[in-house]
Every structure is written in C-alpha cells, then in structure tokens.
Structure 1
C-alpha cells in the first residue's frame, strides 16, 4: 500500500467505548462484522462479511461470484443456498472413508487472496463503490481470520474500502498485529463512566446477567455479566449452555458448529454431545485445511475421550486428525509424540497400522531432518499390518495406499524405477479388486503420481497421457492443470504450457506458483508485458516471493528500467541479504548505471555467498575487463572455470582477455575449447582465433 489514507485501528477496553469512536464516522454502505473466534471458529469474520455482501452481488454480477465460488463457499458454507457449487473435485466430494488427500497449509492463503480479489472487484465505482467495514473483537479472531484481515489491510486501499479494526488491546494474532501497525492509524477509545449494576443480590437479576453472557457465546466484555455467570451453580450454567446450543443448532447455520456450538456443548450437561460436537468441528476443519483449528478441537476433544471401547472412535479421530494437522503445520515433534502415545495406549491393529504410516510420512516428508531409512521401516510395518485385513477390498486398498507411501520414499532415495513399479502395480490391483466407482480419489492420485514419476524420468509422452487421463477424471482439480503446464514447459511447448497455467488460474483460488511459472513461459515466448503483469500480481499476493522479485528485476533491467529493477533487487535483499542471485542482479544494475565500484562489490559479495554462481563469474570478468583490468578478468575466469569446466562462455571470455594481454597461445587454446563445447558465436571465435594464430606466426 502506498502513502494514502490509512485504515483505522480502534482499541479500547469495552465494546461500547470502541463503538463511540466509529458509530458516527461509519456511513453509507457499511457492514458491521463480529470477529471473535468463539462464534463461528475459522473464518468467523471473513465468512460473516461474505454472508452480508455476496447475496447483493449475486443478484447483479453473478459472474464475479462464480469466479470466486471455491473460496466463498469455503469461508461461508451457508451461502450454498445462494451460490451454486460449480467446481467440486474428487477431493471435496470424497466420502470420509475415502478421503485420502488433505490440502496444503498454503491453501488458506490462496482462499484469502481470492476473497480479497473478489472484494477489490466489487468495491469499484461501477459496482458497489467504496465500502466501510467494522470488524469488532478482531483481537480475538482465529488464526485464519488473522491471515485474512492482515492481507485485507495490506492489499486494499482505504480509499476503496475503509476498514475499522476493533480490539481490546494489541491483536492476538502476530500477522494481524504487524499489519495493523503498518497499515492502520491507532486510536485509543476513552474510558466511559461505568454503569451502576449490582451483582451481589440473588435471583432474577443475576440470572439475567448470566444469560446475557451465555447469549453472547462467551464474547461479552462486561465484567458484571461474567461475574454473574461464574456465580451460578454448575447445573444452572450447564442448563444455559444446553439451551443456547440447542438454539444455535435450530438456526441451521453451518458455521455455528465450528465455534459456538462445541463451546457450549463443552460447558453443557452431556459429555457425549460435547465429544460429538468437537469431533464434527474437527472433521470439518481438517477437510478445509484449517489446521490450527483442527489441533485446537483435537486437543479439546482428547480431554473428554479415552481409549475405552465406548470412546475409542472419538479418541482415535481426535488423535489421528490432530497428528495430521500438526504435521501439516510443521509441528512434527508434537505429532510424533502424540502418535507414540497412541501406540502405548491401545493394542488396536488399526491404530498401529495408521500410526506406522503416519510416522513414515513424518520421516520422509515433514521432519526437518529427514530419515528415509527410518521411514522405510515404519512403512513396511504398515504394509505388513495391511496384509492381516480380512476384507479383500479393504486389504487391497490399504496395501496400495501404503505402497504409494513407499513409492514416495523410493523417489526420495532416487529409486525411481521402483517407485514406478509400486504405483503401476497398485493401479492394476485396485482395478482388479474394486468396482469402477470405488475409491475414485485415491485411484486418481495414483494416476497423477505415476505421471509425475514418468515426467521425472523424461518419459514425457507417457506422462502427458496420464496427465490427460487424470484431468478427464477430475477436471476441476487445479494442480493437475498446473502440473501438465509444467510438463509442457519442459517439452518446450510453451503455448500449451500457458494455456494450462491459465486454466488452473481460472478454476482455482490464486496461488503464487502458477503465476510465477506462467510469467516464465511468457518471458521465454518474448511476451515481456504479459510476464511483467504476472510478476506484478504474484508480488501483490506474495511480496516475499524472492524468485518472482528477481525475475521482475531482470525484466526491468532488460527494458532499461534500472530504477524499478533496483527497487525490486533492494526489497528482495532486505528480505534475504544473502540471496546471491539478487546480489548479482544488483551488480548488473550498478553496471548499467555506471557505478562500477558498487557493481564489483555486489558481484564479489554474490560469489562469496555462492562460489559457483556462473552469472556472477561472467559479469565480474566483464566488469574487470571493461575497467582495463584484463589480468583481473583472467584471474576471475580461472576461478570460474574450476567451478564450471564445461561452460563455453568462460573460455570465450578468458580467451578474449588473454588475447588483449598478448598471451596468444593460451588464447588459441581457449578459443578452441569454446568451439569444442559449442556456442552461437562460432564465426567470431574462429576469426579471433585466426588473429591469434597470425600473431604467433603459425598461419
């Protein structure tokens, strides 16, 4: 965001005090949003904003809603009654027993950026125009709302959509706190005179105050209501929570089930209803990729359940889904510890089997220090357990599923042929044993994995056939189009790569990789303007994408826009001062602007970080040569040749420098080596070598 008007951050002890600062200010088309995570869990704030805005947009500009249907329905599931779900995938449609794929942790940022794009499209003069939105209790929002609000603050200018973010003090989410400090003007609400309320008496007055606290779903900031609530006998409090949970359930709004309803059930009179509510919320959250919330519900659920037969199904769900979420969040040590606790707590073969598989994935995918041999030992346990399953179909499915995990391990240790065998035989087994409509999701995963393996083996036509097949089966899964685009890119079929990247963009919430790769394809096609547009958007949704910043700086430099190139290089280096390629690019910018000493410092610094960076070697030698230091150029190229003995450009440049020093024989040898390695400047090299031979008197 530029230096224009800032958003507002209103902090104050009480809601009434905060409201006094914005009630008279917020006018026109305005929305008031409750953001406390206790209400609707993940996306309480984002979902409520969409519930208020989308119906009016759907009536007038349905095509805008359709473009963002995936993110809208994920954040506000109640809108399925208004917005058709037009982009279902095998992943989203899979029944619980067949759900074998979970989303990347990065998906939630894709969803956020998609909704921000939607809001930017509708807050233009020809549509809704400028909006004002007040987010109350934002300091108590859930992690994903913190991600959403911080992105909204950064990407949307206050002139287009003014945000008023209300907190009691500092924000609870670090991302939101950082964004508020940077993009909002903080105003402290004055303390209002306290209202006289007696809570020391008995009877109706105390009960009324306690009911208000429960009706607020625990979000009230009035101390007298909390005090009255806490003074009630436990059975009376439970009755209030039971009644409120029943009321919310009767409303039929889906998202209450992921916030207030489980909170009330935990404080109600039925332990079984508490476990059921927590498990339902847990299952939903892991399926949409809300992993922090999954962990929260899982840990809360484990306090109610145990490993007895009566509770086993709940306890295993709370444990297994929580470990999956912890792994996705990179909290792998916690995930493994919880899995080992499960092994020590029950002799269930099901638990032993799934823990073995999950632990194998920790060691081959998630742990910071991967140990593929340990992963192999665990996966072999899972495969062995699978052989004991009596049901033929389930035995086949589990065997293939775990062998697919083994194939991943084989890929990681570069046994690619073995990985291909495991996946291929798995496909064949499932096709023999299962009905055509059974386990469609995992069967599509196997086709996709086989395509990726074949692509890594450079068996491109076979890989393409499998990509085509899986896209036919699951056409709305964007990663398949993205991966097929990557394959076309490798095959040099750039127009088809762009076509696939574009289709992935059209059916998916935005993700940085597809814009980065399409920009690269555009650049190779000579479409610099389109490449720059993709890099611009990429860096809008992900300002920390260093390779995107590097590539845009390079395009700016090639276009002679050195000031813009410098801005990208310097902003990238502010994020990572040790990024050798950015330092090299900065050196080229300094050269283009005639700052030769600064250029030499930047190129030297790049090589100190990465001694094998070919571009830095080449450009440092060119710089030294242009500074009349031919011997320095030769010395630099001597070091470069040690790193890159097959790089023809190094021999060509060194020969040129040697020739200028009168070292004719050495220059001839380098020109000959450059010709041997092959290059585009063959005619010029022959002419220069001829000149050196004449100087030697050998021609």
Structure 2
C-alpha cells in the first residue's frame, strides 16, 4: 500500500504493532501530538525541532522566508531566524498585554507556512521518501489539527508519508467555527488501519503493576508522571491513582523541577508540561496558577484562542472571587474573550453570565457588558445577532465607565466603550454616527491623556475610523488615517492588505500591489492577499502573474469561491475551457447556487454548443440574482446565435439597463444592425467608441451609416 495512513487502536503499543506491518519508508520522526506536552503545535513543534536546524544550515534562505511560523510554532528556533518582535510587543508590559490580536485564522496560516517550509526543505535532504508518525492525535490541540489537515492535503506521500495515530474513539472537530476539518481530510486522504477492540490478552481494567513489566507501585507511578501523565497503559494510570495526594504532589514537584530547568532553552514547555505539573504539585494554587496565567496570556497574544480558553477554564475553576481574586477575574475575562475569538460565542456568553452572578465590582460588570454587546454585534451567527441587545449592553458599559472615579480611567474606558458602540452603529448601517463617536473619542484621548499613554488604543481608534471611512467610500480620509497608523504600527500585515484594497479602488494599482507584497512578507501564507494581488495584476494585464496568484490562493484554500471564479474566468478567456469548467464545478460543489459560477458555466457550455445546458445554468443564475447583467448578456448571445433577434434584443436591453458595459452595448448594436435598426445600432457603437478605441465598433458604425444612406436614396 502507498499513501498516507490513519491507524486507530486502543493503546499506543497496539498502534505501534499495526504500523510495523505497513512497510513504510524510512522514519523521519515519531512525534506526540498530546497537547499536555507543549500545548499548541506539540506535534508540529516536535517535528521542526528535529528537522529545521539542519534544513536552515543547508538552505539559509528559508530563515527569512519562514521566520514567522518557525518561531511562533517552535520558539526554540527563534535564535535561528530573524526575530519577530513587533512594535506592539516592545511596548507591552507582559505577554498578551496588547490592544489587538491575530485573526482567528492566523494559526491556520502558520500551519500552511510550516507545510511550505517542509515542502522546500525535505526534497533537498537527499534521504529519499520518509515517514512521519504523529501519535495521540485524539489529544491534539486545534493547531496540530490544522497542521495535519494541511499536510495531508498538500504534502505528497512520495515525499513524506504521514501516519496519523489515534485511539478508537470517534475523532471529532474542535468546538466552534472549524477552519479546516482534520477528520474530513483523514477520511479522504488516508488508508485507515483500524483495530476496534482491545489488544489480545489485555484487560481493559489493567493488571496490577507488579508482574506487568512496570515494576513496583511506586516505580510505575513515578514512570507515569515522568512521562507527563500521557501514557495510555492502564497499570501506570492505576498506580498513579493509588497514591495519596501528597505522594502524587511530590512526584509532580520533582517533574516540574526537571522541566523548569529545561524551560529556559525550551520555552514551549511553558505552554504545556510545566504548568501541568506545577498545578498538581504542592504549590498548585501559587506557582501553578501563575504559570497557567502566563501560558494563557502567551497563547492569547499569538492568537491561539482555543488553548487560551482551555487554560482559562482551568484557571477560573481553580480560583474564585474569594480565592485568588486577582487571578479569578483575569482568567474569567480572558476565557470569555478567547471563546468568542475562537468562534464559540455561545460558550462565551455562558461564562459571562456566570461571572455576573459572582461579582459586584463595577469595572467587572462594565467589561462583561461590553463583551456581551460584542457577542450580539459581531460574534454570534447572523441569526442570533441583535442590534438592540448589542446597543443595550454597550450602553450599560458606557454608563458605568462614565462614573469611574479616576479621571484618566474614566476617559479611557468611556472612549473604549463608545468605540464598541461605533461598531454597533456600523452594523446598523449608520457609518456617519460611527465616525462621530470615533472622532470624539480620538479628540478626548488626545486632550485628557498624556503623550505616550494608551498609544496602542489610540492607534486602534484610528484603525477603526479608517475601516469605517473605507466602508463608506471616504477612501482618501481612510488613507490619511492609515498613514498615521503605520507610522507607529508598521509591521502589521492587515494594514497593508486593507490599504492595498483601498488603493486598488482608487485605481492606484501599482501601489496596491506593493502593499499586497509587503503584507505577504509580514504574515504567514493566507489566500486573500494572493487573490487580491491576482485581481490587481489582472487589471494591469499581467495574466501569468494573476494566474500564479489564483493558483496560490487555491493551494492554500481549495474551496475559495472568489479565487475559483477568478481563475475559471481567466482560463476561459485564454481558451482553456476544460480547466475553467473544472474550477466552476469545484466551486458549485461548495455553493450550488452561486450565481456568478452558474453564469460562467452557462457561458462555457454555450461556447461548446451545449445550448440547452447553458440556458439551464443561466436561468439558475438569474433565479438567484435577477440583476446579474452578465447572465442577461450571455442569454442575448445565445438568442442571437439561434436567430431570435427579438429575444436577444430584450436580453441585451436588460443587461445594458443593469450595467452599461461597452461589450454589452457593442453586442446590442450588432443585434440592432442585424434587425435593420440602423439608427439604434449607430447609437450603441457611438457609446462604445466614446470609452474605447474599438476598431470593429468603428467599422460596424461606418457600415451602418452607409446602409442608412443607401436606404434614403
């Protein structure tokens, strides 16, 4: 057998036995994905620690190309690549103290960057095909789900055979919005080697440790803790559970001391093993909670929201308003925020509602009101969003902030909460009111706070104002805001991406492309920037560059409908009908009612002479979007070819009414000419020549004028 594999069996030793019978290529690495080990990227980081140093020595140019994903997923590699320390991070007092955080999909982008690195590094290793085994995937963090899903799809098994190993329980997607589904990729890209039952001779309850090959009870328990409590061997777990509480704590203290001695050189241990053992040692409520809080802040800062939320859940349940309240509130607040950012708003709402019943602190209720307002304004799915409730909660936050006794705190939080109200106004279709709130907020902070105070929140206000200006068509004002923002915050990819889109709308295409290219260097791979640059290149006539960008966007996200449509349209214009139809069909599998894809399908089938099918597609497109001018125009072309000039004229009239594009006017002129309506034909050709230098339009116009003259002789 060849290809990637999924091995499922109850115990790891049984999975090892099944793997031994597969005849796999030589091993590259066997790594463990259990998130208890290193938290996010436990598997990907373990792989990179093994392969990246040698690859970077052999191909040093990869360091600059992949510096973001290498140091964010595997901080041990930071000394080997250019440092990514944003201006934002330099000014933060602690990890996670910032006014903006990565997008939810940032971790998926990092995973694609890791895959790019492997695709570049592995072919030059000279070792031929290799095998990567990833164990305990049932316990993996979302980040390793994303990495493995991307790797299964993008890495050929002939280069690196992936073996994903799990127990026999159903492997599900993580809660909330799923960026990419590992179970779905496993189902279509692997051969499953499955052992549903317990291994031969194994008792599910496990034998006693004595005589089972694990030594005495104390030795078995010590072995379990030394292995970071991830072993699935029942005797080891039973031995651990048989100890007294103080005995277990002593083992965890010893292991925590060992891990802490390595954490300076292996900082990823601070996101997994180290807080785990400290929490279960003799000072769990002290050093343990402090370590957990540090890990949560770091994960939030990196946009690892599922991990940050999970850490916060453990932290808030180990604390309370009367038990380390200085940590209970941060754990609770950050858990709600991170659940929302991870696409889990219903869980966030439950955390916030519980917190309301546990505190009477005005600032706590102010924060909870604001965050709940944001759930109703932006985080809930569309059917649950509610402008009235969003406004009510944010107004409550504003009312509390306006009563804060400290003048500077009052100024800051009053402006911050009104910034939230500005978002509600945008969602309600009132951009002018949103701009008024933002303008007043900027002016108030400049007036009431000193130079250098809350700098990043001031940048955030200007960023939001730039966004509102852009959405409402005030593009020059938006660009002015971006200029001031990027003087301070010059290393954030989103700024360049957003500004590039505004420049493109203004027709400043070369400048837009320059911004898109800068964004590419500042972020791990994401499809949107390649799609946008492709569209900009298309406007400049760079067809090869546009096609390369659309290809890249679809390599990263095969179901990206905009990129599928754009590439299909470009291929169709180049006469590559078969390839164009393949993209159209791939897009319709994602959205069978997509009017533009149906329209292009109608065009392509019409060009192949499949008129009936073409009409069906065009009719479907117009059912979903009756104002799709392109579909009316293509219908007109089909009518003209079939000799039905009356229907053709009606269809072209509708197309021109909706969108007076020169090509529609030209084609309607041809129909008028064929029908003998020469005056109307000349009018259409005149309209075309007013905006283009179309020689055929000029020639047909002259022909119509001569025919009209002859008709009057």
Asked if TM exceeds 0.5, the reply is: yes
In the TM superposition, 1:105-124 aligns within 5 A as 105-124=104-123
Return closer, same or farther for 1:243/1:336 CA change in 2, 3 Å cut-off. same
Partner of 1:220: 231
Partner of 2:493: 478
Determine the C-alpha separation between the residues in 1 that align with 2:3 and 2:605.
35
Shift, 1:29, TM fit: 6.7
Partner of 2:640: 625
Partner of 2:49: 51
2:60 paired with 1:62? yes
CA RMSD in angstroms comes to 3.2
Shift, 1:577, TM fit: 1.1
2:249 paired with 1:249? no
Determine the C-alpha separation between the residues in 1 that align with 2:685 and 2:406.
66
Determine the C-alpha separation between the residues in 1 that align with 2:129 and 2:93.
42
Shift, 1:374, TM fit: 3.0
Determine the C-alpha separation between the residues in 2 that align with 1:92 and 1:114.
24
Further displaced range: 207-216 or 529-538:
207-216
Determine the C-alpha separation between the residues in 2 that align with 1:332 and 1:257.
28
Determine the C-alpha separation between the residues in 2 that align with 1:659 and 1:468.
53
Deviation per residue, 1:649-677 (Å, 9 max, x gap): 66765565466456x4xx85687589679
Determine the C-alpha separation between the residues in 2 that align with 1:15 and 1:343.
44
2:361 paired with 1:363? no
Determine the C-alpha separation between the residues in 1 that align with 2:631 and 2:343.
35
Determine the C-alpha separation between the residues in 2 that align with 1:212 and 1:556.
61
Deviation per residue, 1:512-545 (Å, 9 max, x gap): 1110100000000000101010111110110110
Partner of 1:30: 28
Further displaced range: 204-213 or 384-393:
384-393
Partner of 1:300: 314
Deviation per residue, 1:228-275 (Å, 9 max, x gap): 222233332333233323332232132223223333344444451443
Q: Please say if residues 379 and 406 of structure 1, whose CA atoms lie closer than 8 Å, have aligned partners that are also in contact.
A: yes
Return closer, same or farther for 1:197/1:374 CA change in 2, 3 Å cut-off. closer
Return closer, same or farther for 1:446/1:130 CA change in 2, 3 Å cut-off. farther
Return closer, same or farther for 1:44/1:399 CA change in 2, 3 Å cut-off. same
In the TM superposition, 1:455-466 aligns within 5 A as 455-466=470-481
TM-score, normalised to structure 1's length? 0.90
Return closer, same or farther for 1:50/1:88 CA change in 2, 3 Å cut-off. farther
Q: Please say if residues 622 and 633 of structure 1, whose CA atoms lie closer than 8 Å, have aligned partners that are also in contact.
A: yes
Determine the C-alpha separation between the residues in 2 that align with 1:98 and 1:187.
46
Q: Please say if residues 681 and 701 of structure 2, whose CA atoms lie closer than 8 Å, have aligned partners that are also in contact.
A: no
SS state at 2:593 partner: coil
SS state at 2:161 partner: strand
Determine the C-alpha separation between the residues in 1 that align with 2:402 and 2:435.
21
Q: In structure 2, list runs of 5 or more residues that go unmatched.
A: 174-180
2:248 paired with 1:237? yes
Partner of 2:614: 599
Q: Please say if residues 675 and 685 of structure 1, whose CA atoms lie closer than 8 Å, have aligned partners that are also in contact.
A: no
Determine the C-alpha separation between the residues in 2 that align with 1:89 and 1:539.
32
Partner of 1:438: 453
Determine the C-alpha separation between the residues in 2 that align with 1:548 and 1:316.
44
Partner of 1:10: 7
Determine the C-alpha separation between the residues in 2 that align with 1:173 and 1:147.
13
Q: Please say if residues 598 and 617 of structure 2, whose CA atoms lie closer than 8 Å, have aligned partners that are also in contact.
A: yes
TM-score, normalised to structure 2's length? 0.88
Partner of 1:168: 167
Task: Work out which of the residue numbers 529, 532, 535 in structure 2 matches 1:520.
Answer: 535
Determine the C-alpha separation between the residues in 2 that align with 1:484 and 1:655.
40
Task: Work out which of the residue numbers 404, 410, 416 in structure 2 matches 1:401.
Answer: 416
Shift, 1:120, TM fit: 0.9
Deviation per residue, 1:584-632 (Å, 9 max, x gap): 1111111222222222221122112221111111101111211122233
Further displaced range: 318-327 or 73-82:
73-82
Further displaced range: 347-356 or 127-136:
127-136
Further displaced range: 516-525 or 46-55:
46-55
Deviation per residue, 1:280-312 (Å, 9 max, x gap): 33222222222222222222223222222x432
Determine the C-alpha separation between the residues in 1 that align with 2:560 and 2:32.
33
Task: Work out which of the residue numbers 378, 394, 413 in structure 2 matches 1:379.
Answer: 394
Shift, 1:573, TM fit: 0.9
Q: Please say if residues 91 and 441 of structure 1, whose CA atoms lie closer than 8 Å, have aligned partners that are also in contact.
A: no
Q: Please say if residues 659 and 692 of structure 1, whose CA atoms lie closer than 8 Å, have aligned partners that are also in contact.
A: no
Further displaced range: 242-251 or 523-532:
242-251
